[in-house]
Structure 1
Amino acid sequence: MCCEQYADYLGNKGYDVEVLDTDDMAALNRKHDVEPALSSCHTTLIGDYVVVGHVPEPIVAKLLREKPDIRGITLPGMPSGSPGMPGKKSEPFVIKTLDGDVYTTY
């Protein structure tokens, strides 16, 4: 459910979204070198980047605008209040690179 809400969220922000269901997220994440500690319930391919989890759209836009030399970004887990997730945001979201370094907070 939250994955469809995140896809709708990105679609409403102007992104062309195609949803592909899988029963094996672990295999998909291995294919894209996403460590288990950095994973979430969905993985998105945007341009040349891998975006994992419920990353807020302004951060996706920043990634695409700045084009850093990284494989992608992640908001690990499924934090409350993130796009597509119910509840209130209780603390800043720490978005990391797929190498585990902090990319930015939101």
Structure 2
Amino acid sequence: MQEHGFTVQAEDVQDLAAVKTHYAIPAELQSCHTAIVDGYLIEGHVPAQEIQRLLAERPDVVGLAVPGMPIGSPGMEIAEMGSEAFDVIAYDAAGVQTTFASYAQVE
């Protein structure tokens, strides 16, 4: 994220489930990393360009999520493995989920 202009303050915690419960991140959207960026929750391997778009458009959502750990998503690149298709999901305070962006599989 730093290479995309974000200031990062990492906090290692022992109980990730408690963090996700505290921020009411829907179970089906949970992943390995949780971040707060300018008041928005970012869950999982969300591409920096989608976070930048979120900050530019400022939709009325709680945050963005990439559930699981899809191969080829930022931080999950594996040489010669291509990438899995994945969606970036926006979700609001009522729990309504919409597709914010989609990434196609690359072989």
Secondary structure in structure 2 of the residue aligned to 1:61: helix
Larger Rg: 2
Query: Within the alignment, does 1:97 sit opposite 2:90 as a pair?
Result: yes
Displacement of 1:86 in angstroms is 3.1
Query: Within the alignment, does 1:21 sit opposite 2:15 as a pair?
Result: no
Whichever structure has more strand as a proportion of its residues is 2
Report percent identity of matched pairs: 34
Whichever structure has more helix as a proportion of its residues is 1
**Count of paired positions:** 96
Displacement of 1:90 in angstroms is 2.6
Greater relative contact order, per chain length (Cα 8 Å cut-off, separation 6+): 1
Displacement of 1:23 in angstroms is 1.0
Query: Within the alignment, does 1:69 sit opposite 2:60 as a pair?
Result: yes
One-letter identity of the residue aligned with 2:89: K
Query: 1:1-40 residue pairs with structure 2 within 5 A?
Result: 10-40=1-31
Q: Could you list the runs of 4 or more consecutive aligned residues of structure 1 that deviate by over 2 angstroms after TM superposition?
A: 98-101
**Unaligned stretches of 5+ residues in structure 1:** 1-9
Secondary structure in structure 2 of the residue aligned to 1:30: helix
TM-score between the two structures when normalised by the length of structure 2? 0.83
Displacement of 1:101 in angstroms is 2.4
Conserved 8 A contact 2:31-2:43: yes
TM-score between the two structures when normalised by the length of structure 1? 0.84
